[in-house]
Amino acid sequence: MSKNKLSFAGASILATLVAMVGAVHGQDVKTDRGEQLYAKNCEACHHVGENIIRPEKTMDRSLKISSKAAFKRFLSRQNGLMPPYLTIVRSDKDLSALYSYVKKLPDLKLTPQSQAAH
């Protein structure tokens, strides 16, 4: 009896985790355009503004995002192992949406959910 209850709890925790992973990778769950673009193009290497390839080059407090113009210049060319993002750069709407999202990253980092991941 209690064993069944336990595996039920396990199953619902698993379902929650699957839903969370889906929210990170799926595009349809998110409504914020900048967040969608970030999840699709940047999140894999820059989970909440960090850098999995060059850990010392975190991006959430980078000078490259000190202004939208600097951000645009940065995304327009190859930077080490980071590819250029010309499709985003060509759309001012997408660039602005992504820019305002990356500016929010330092605050998003402080949410309990992302802290639990560390």
Q: Which residues bind ligand HEC (CB under 6 A)?
A: 41-42, 44-46, 51, 53-54, 57, 59, 62-65, 74, 79-82, 85, 88, 102
Closest approach, Cβ 5 to ligand HEC, in A, equals 42
Q: Which is nearer to ligand HEC, 64 or 109 (CB)?
A: 64
Closest approach, Cβ 18 to ligand HEC, in A, equals 24
Count helices and strands (H / E) in the chain: 6, 0
Give me the residue whose beta carbon is nearest to ligand HEC: 80
CB–CB of 71/64 below 8 Å? yes
| 32: Cα separation from own chain's centroid | 12
Residues in the chain: 118
Q: Is 79 helix (H, G, I), strand (E, B) or coil?
A: strand
Closest approach, Cβ 15 to ligand HEC, in A, equals 29
Q: By C-alpha distance, which of 29, 50, 23, 34 is closest to 115?
A: 50
Q: Which is nearer to ligand HEC, 45 or 108 (CB)?
A: 45
